[in-house]
Structure 1
Amino acid sequence: MTLVRLAPSLVLAGALLAPAETQEATADKVPARLTAERVAALPVAQRPAWTAYLEASDAARAVDHAALDRELRGLGTNPLARAPLGRSMDPWLDKGDAWYASDEARRIADVVISYQTPSGGWSKRLDFTGGSRQPGQGYSAEGDWSYVATFDNDATTTQMQFISRVFDAAGRTTDRDAFERGLAYVLRAQYPNGCWPQVYPLAGSYHDAATFNDDAMANVIGLLDAIAQGRHRIVAPEQREAARASAARGVACVLAAQIRVDGVHTAWGAQHDALTLAPVGARAYEHTGVDAAASARIVELLMTRPRSDAAIRAAVDAAVVWFRATAMHGYAYEKGELIARPGAGPLWPRFSELRTNRAIFGNRDAIVRYDLSEIVPERKYGYGWYTTSPARVLDAISRWQE
């Protein structure tokens, strides 16, 4: 196993609206929640944009709640009925053109649109195979107001892609309207510094962090790129320009968030504080660290851009150096177990400690652990602690560099 020890100080690239600041390795203490109190502590010139953002988030949340409150009053019932739990929309995103013109595709599109929140997004892990959302039924399968709405687990971006495909085949106004509401939601959810939270309207806690975990920001920027490039015929030219500008700001925030150690760029965390862009933890077992899986997807996104852009070239090249330095050889990860196996690899810990690059793990007690054997079965086998994702980058990098 290769272990690279890095220098003790950690310096983060500055947020676009905030100065760069030094972060110690105890970055779990950095608050992830975006609050009015934190915004009030910003330099005067930076406050208006963030204050307006918080106000818009509050207004969007009020709209969502008011819509369901009206339904419940009309029914004379409470509480909400939870939405049905489902799986990924991926199987519906690669059908042939003829299928998107079918009655089945239009029926599914109607169900998808019925779960669009008044603010314009979607929750995650919804079942769209059944009937449409009924009055008094919530928008989330996770809980009454959990992940309403979100970019987590491919939510919102995949619904928009599917609706766009159905529109291309059928040309329905309802699909266009839903897509446009979704695009407006994506643009509103973008932070003043160009990043996106996991959940919008803001839900507090780590959900407010700029989220690279589960490819959330990469998926959003990828969707905006596709819109800007005209691959979604559902949008008007002015919307393409808005998408292009939003994607460019998103990429700038990605570059600003890249972790630096003693002035040397490495990769990215799963979440970064919205204001400082310092890496932060999330759930109790997800500690602050470099996230190899999220970083791989970010680099793949950056590699879709011209190598002639010096900032992008530097970010990609630095991340590749980090991937190569931290790659583990001679190990396989199968069914929750790390197994010594000659010739296996490369493999990366999902989370690496900021200063040392040691693999870090966690149970639900929020204690950092360095040995997978110390993780209880529920977390050991219920979470992916190692990843091969950076191998895709290493396979492709020589072609991109040329």
Structure 2
Amino acid sequence: MNLKIYTFALGLMAVNFSSQVKDTLAEKMMIYQLPNGGWGKQLEDKSTVNYNLPLDKNLLKKIKSTGDDHATIDNNATSREINGLIKAYSATKNPEYLKSAEKGIGYLLLMQYDNGGFPQYYPNKGLYRKQVTYNDNAMINALTVLYNTAEGKNNFDVVDSTLKEKSKAAVQKGIECILKTQVLQKGIFSIWADQYNEITLQPDKARAFEPISLATGESVGVIRFLMLQPVTPEIEKSIKSAIQWFRHNKIEGYSYNVSKQNGKAVRVLAKDKNSVIWARFYDIHTNRPLFGDRDGSVKYNYNEVSEERRNGYNWFGDFAEKLIAKEYPKWLENNKITE
């Protein structure tokens, strides 16, 4: 065979092989994708989406019967799948993965409110699902996907140019919402609440044990997202104010340890002179650590929380430790900003 023809044939075989390469996880993600482009964290029968399960006839039937009302950005749903599909496309160049990811990005753009916020679910508006939701990093996960799309970062450079432009506008709206929802305390910016009324953008409660409060873990995620953005006077003030709040409201001399006893989690707040932690929630007016219970009551003493909730929820953590010690100083240095 002529050398040129042989080389061309090998190249053709390589292209054909590449087009046939499949990623098992990505294939499953496409099967679970809902008609509106999003993904659920649960199926119609309320079972949790689990990509480790084999796709037998019974499971496929459950997936097919799950409707758009289950589409959500809670518990990493939708952002997890979009990121996974983009990664799979980068490795395999299978166009179906990119197509599915782009449909997911379209869903995120569709669910964003005009005020820039994101509900926990869309189109499901039941209970607290329609609230603008920072809880479990829902809104920040969605905005990070759109940021990567707009900027072509982390393999998202392959996304359709129209989606990139729409994502750029969505990110700007999201930043405006973030700045509007930073809680003011006597004229001074603090951090962010878990969720907000979707119309008034005022802090709101969600589940019975998630009262209106300042949310530390989610606020760390918000700050990290703002640090990715070009620095404006508003963003600089927002970040600096939030960092100051974290510094003033740390809990020194305590650690929060989680262990297993008889297969159940046991969470213990203990004295530890070398440890610094923050409460999960703080009173929105007084900055006192607070704790919600199943009956909707609010406690200010951790030991007064029912045993089920005390051990069934993470009430403390070293949420802002790395942010304050490493990430914030690096952000200041990289942007030539003085404290």
* TM-score normalised per structure 2: 0.83
Q: Indicate if the aligned counterparts of 1:218 and 1:297 stay in contact, CA closer than 8 A.
A: yes
| Match of residue 267, structure 1, among 191, 206, 219 | 191
Q: Indicate if the aligned counterparts of 1:289 and 1:353 stay in contact, CA closer than 8 A.
A: yes
Mapped pair 1:251 → 2:175: yes
Which position in structure 2 is the counterpart of 1:168?
Answer: 90
Within 2, Cα distance between the matches of 1:366 and 1:169? 48
Classify 1:363/1:226 alpha carbon distance in 2 versus 1 (closer, same or farther; 3 Å). Answer: same
Tell me which amino acid in the other structure corresponds to 2:242: A
SS in 1 for 2:122: coil
SS in 2 for 1:330: strand
Deviation track 1:227-263 (CA, whole Å, cap 9, x = no partner) reads 1121313312222111111111111111111100121
By how many angstroms is 1:392 displaced? 2.1
| Match of residue 299, structure 2, among 369, 376, 390 | 369
SS in 1 for 2:252: coil
Mapped pair 1:312 → 2:235: yes
- Once superposed, which parts of structure 1, at least 4 consecutive aligned residues long, lie more than 4 Å away? 101-105, 132-135, 144-147
| Match of residue 62, structure 2, among 130, 137, 140 | 137
| Match of residue 339, structure 1, among 270, 276, 281 | 270
Which position in structure 2 is the counterpart of 1:388?
Answer: 318
Mapped pair 1:213 → 2:130: no
Structure 2 runs not aligned, ≥5 long: 1-17, 42-47, 259-266, 334-339
Q: Indicate if the aligned counterparts of 2:72 and 2:122 stay in contact, CA closer than 8 A.
A: yes
Tell me which amino acid in the other structure corresponds to 2:35: P
Within 1, Cα distance between the matches of 2:90 and 2:230? 29
Structure 1 runs not aligned, ≥5 long: 1-100
By how many angstroms is 1:376 displaced? 1.7
Deviation track 1:191-211 (CA, whole Å, cap 9, x = no partner) reads 010110001113322111111
Which position in structure 1 is the counterpart of 2:36?
Answer: 119
Within 2, Cα distance between the matches of 1:289 and 1:180? 35
By how many angstroms is 1:171 displaced? 2.1
By how many angstroms is 1:111 displaced? 1.1
Which protein has the bigger strand share?
Answer: 2
**Identical aligned pairs, as a percentage?**
30
Classify 1:163/1:146 alpha carbon distance in 2 versus 1 (closer, same or farther; 3 Å). Answer: closer
Which position in structure 2 is the counterpart of 1:280?
Answer: 204
State the superposition RMSD in angstroms: 2.1
Tell me which amino acid in the other structure corresponds to 1:276: T
Within 2, Cα distance between the matches of 1:270 and 1:243? 24
By how many angstroms is 1:136 displaced? 3.8
User: Residues 50-69 of structure 1 correspond to what in structure 2 (within 5 A)?
Assistant: none
Deviation track 1:41-60 (CA, whole Å, cap 9, x = no partner) reads xxxxxxxxxxxxxxxxxxxx
Which structure's CA Rg is the greater one? 2
Within 2, Cα distance between the matches of 1:150 and 1:174? 22
Q: Which moved more, 1:315-324 or 1:371-380?
A: 371-380
Classify 1:303/1:139 alpha carbon distance in 2 versus 1 (closer, same or farther; 3 Å). Answer: farther
Within 1, Cα distance between the matches of 2:50 and 2:158? 25
Within 2, Cα distance between the matches of 1:329 and 1:153? 30
Which position in structure 2 is the counterpart of 1:397?
Answer: 328
Q: Would you say how many aligned residue pairs link Structure 1 and Structure 2?
A: 297
SS in 1 for 2:157: coil
Tell me which amino acid in the other structure corresponds to 1:199: Y
Q: Which moved more, 1:359-368 or 1:128-137?
A: 128-137
Q: Indicate if the aligned counterparts of 2:146 and 2:167 stay in contact, CA closer than 8 A.
A: yes
Classify 1:324/1:279 alpha carbon distance in 2 versus 1 (closer, same or farther; 3 Å). Answer: same
Q: Indicate if the aligned counterparts of 1:209 and 1:271 stay in contact, CA closer than 8 A.
A: yes
SS in 2 for 1:206: coil
SS in 1 for 2:217: helix
Which position in structure 2 is the counterpart of 1:295?
Answer: 219
Larger RCO, structure (CA 8 Å, separation 6 or more):
1
Deviation track 1:342-381 (CA, whole Å, cap 9, x = no partner) reads 1211x11100011111111122100111111111221111
By how many angstroms is 1:389 displaced? 1.3
Deviation track 1:126-163 (CA, whole Å, cap 9, x = no partner) reads 112222786642479xxx66971111111101101111
SS in 2 for 1:342: strand
Which position in structure 2 is the counterpart of 1:360?
Answer: 290
Within 2, Cα distance between the matches of 1:203 and 1:384? 27
Classify 1:103/1:392 alpha carbon distance in 2 versus 1 (closer, same or farther; 3 Å). Answer: farther
By how many angstroms is 1:399 displaced? 2.1
Within 1, Cα distance between the matches of 2:68 and 2:171? 27
| Match of residue 149, structure 1, among 71, 82, 94 | 71
* TM-score normalised per structure 1: 0.70
Within 2, Cα distance between the matches of 1:257 and 1:386? 23
Which position in structure 1 is the counterpart of 2:25?
Answer: 108
SS in 1 for 2:70: coil
